[in-house]
Amino acid sequence: KHGILLIFDEVITGFGRLGTAFASDYYGVQPDMLNFAKAVTNGVFPLGGVVCTDRIYEAMMGAHGNAPEHAIEFFHGYTYSGHPVACAAAIATLDLFREEKLFERAGEMGPVLGDAMHAALMGLPNVIGIRSLGLAAAVELAPIAGLPGKRAFDVFMDCYHRGVLVRNAGENLVFAPPYIVDKSQIETMVGTLADAIKRAA
């Protein structure tokens, strides 16, 4: 309506995290540009990309392919572009996503994670927010005055030493489990996190 350029950063949400190929699909939106990485190779080899509309392509390359033949598409330095190992990892990953129906599985397990987070963490000491969407969830903790991020870091370390990996980001603790996670594993992860939050109070 207003001609505003819409860019979706799908480095985390792309390739199934919300149960759909991309968050743009989840929301039924077509962005002008979409960038991706991480899950396209299952995170085992660095690869990223950008998808754009014809309108953006033509603005960069000249309308209707009028760019000179020697012009490089979206030139930005191509040191590692098209690396065969990264591309092979992506093809293998995409095949497994399809064969194992992992997008669908992430879509099914997402509500399990969200429900578990809200049930176990709501009302705990220092919990000021709980968020979840698809197979990703976060809890925000109240900061310790003068020590930003310390409470979340302490909870992170407690979980780590008890075999549960949760990512701390400032005052937030984030879960983004693999798509093959099952209900009992989610319950273990969230239960460990809840106990660590109580211990850090």
Q: Which of 34, 65, 99 delimits the end of a domain?
A: 99
Closest CA to 149 of 172, 178, 125: 172
| pLDDT(69) > 90 | no
Same-domain check for residues 151 and 166? yes
**Edge-to-edge, what's the strand order for the sheet holding 172-175?**
127-132, 137-141, 172-175, 167-169
What DSSP line would sit under 25-51, residue for residue? HHHT---SEEEE-GGGGTTSS---EEE
The residue among 65, 99, 133 that closes a domain is: 99
- The total of structural domains in the chain comes to 2
85 inside domain: yes
- Cα dist. 37→28, 44, 47, 98 in Å? 21, 11, 6, 18
Whether 110 and 61 share a structural domain:
no
> 12-21, 81-90, 92-101, 184-193: which has the minimum mean pLDDT?
81-90
User: Which of 35, 66, 99 is the last residue in one of the domains?
Assistant: 99
Asked whether residue 1 is domain-assigned, the answer is no
Model confidence pLDDT, tens digit, residues 29-58? 999 999 999 999 998 899 999 999 988 888
Among residues 15, 27, 38, 17, which one has the least CA distance to residue 6? 27
What the block records as the tokens of 100 is 């194992």
CATH number at residue 128: 3.90.1150.10
Residues 148, 189 share a domain: yes
Residue 32 forms part of a structural domain: yes
Residue 33: the pLDDT is 96
Same structural domain for residues 93 and 110? no
Q: Could you tell me if residue 2 is inside a domain?
A: no
Q: Is residue 75 scored above 90 in pLDDT?
A: no
Q: What is the pLDDT of residue 78?
A: 66
Q: Write out the residue range of the structural domain in which residue 178 sits.
A: 102-199
**115 and 76 belong to one structural domain:** no
Strand ranges across the sheet with 33-36? 7-9, 33-36, 49-52
DSSP 147: B
- pLDDT by residue (tens digit) across 148-181? 999 999 999 999 999 999 999 999 999 999 999 9
E-strand ranges in 102-150 read 127-132, 137-141
CB contact set of 29 (below 8 Å; sequence gap of 6+): 6, 8
Residue 64 per-residue DSSP state: G
Q: Is residue 70 part of a domain?
A: yes
The reply to whether 108 falls in a domain is: yes
Residue 129 falls within a domain, yes or no? Answer: yes
Contact 115, 131 (CB under 8 A): no
